[in-house]
Amino acid sequence: MKVLVTGASGQLGRDVVLLLEKKGHFVLACSRDQMDITDELKVNEVIASFGPELVIHCAAYTAVDAAETDTDGAYKVNAMGTRNVAVASEKAGAKLIYISTDYVFDGTSVTPYQEYDNTNPQSVYGKSKRAGELLVQTLSSRWFIVRTSWVYGHYGNNFVKTMLKLGQEKPKLQVVHDQKGSPTYTVDLVEFLIELMATEKYGIYHASNSGSCTWYEFTQTIFNEARVIAGLPIKAELEPCTTEQFPRPAPRPRNSVMDHLAIRTNGFSDLCSWHEGLKNFLREMSN
């Protein structure tokens, strides 16, 4: 399949490109330098000249805290940029996969969020990503919205890499124990996207590694597995703390666990557990 990928130099985008090419797809990898999604004319020109059958839209403004004081910047990329990609993809007759986020929910639910539950984003980042979802639904005729959470991979900075570094440097670490979610390994997410893109089963999907944990529990597991799998000299003593002890500009969802209702009811393979995903990541990293 002929696939154009936006945000191709980002953490998820790089794995999307690598795995698509590995499976024999013809890929045009677009970083901001090749195609700034906020430039409507450039987006139309690049997509029209390549003529993709599918666009995977990974490009996003993801600086969650910075977005609180840069509302225009977040909306320019996540809403207007997404509109530009959606319109150009539709003109080219391409399917569109839009990568969204658990931040479209407020995090107050006591049960996992299903795809068609009401959204109620609390942060500028979450609101701008929800705006992108609405534009995709309005402007595209063949769309998939894939919401994911707590993403980490081999490229760029992420929570796992930060904790591995701090675990070897600091004697003590405090990690939040009252926010719950599902850590997601980029490679597992991309495998699902590749299965999804070959179908006409359009709609909203929740795709994260299965199961859930708090950031504290996730860090505990990172440290334990890093010692065993990668032989890393983790010395930091872990201490649970509350969200209030670490105030941040943008509110975080207390519960961002998502139920994979659409994956089950459409007959797709569910993603493996977050613990298994983490072990696979650490094995790859140590190799």
Known catalytic residues are 125
Q: Decide if 253 contacts 178 (C-beta within 8 A).
A: no
Q: Decide if 170 contacts 137 (C-beta within 8 A).
A: no
Residues 6+ apart with CB under 8 A from 244: none
Q: Which helix (H) or strand (E) holds 215?
A: helix 215-229
CB atoms within 10 A of CB 237: 10
**Rounded to whole angstroms, how far apart are CA atoms 181 and 107?**
10
DSSP character string of 4-29: EEESTTSHHHHHHHHHHHHTT-EEEE
Closest CA to 55 of 32, 85, 19, 14: 85
Length of the chain: 287
Query: Alpha carbon of 2 to those of 15, 26, 48, 56, 94: distances in Å?
Result: 17, 5, 13, 11, 10
Q: Decide if 9 contacts 62 (C-beta within 8 A).
A: no
Closest CA to 258 of 126, 78, 97, 104: 104
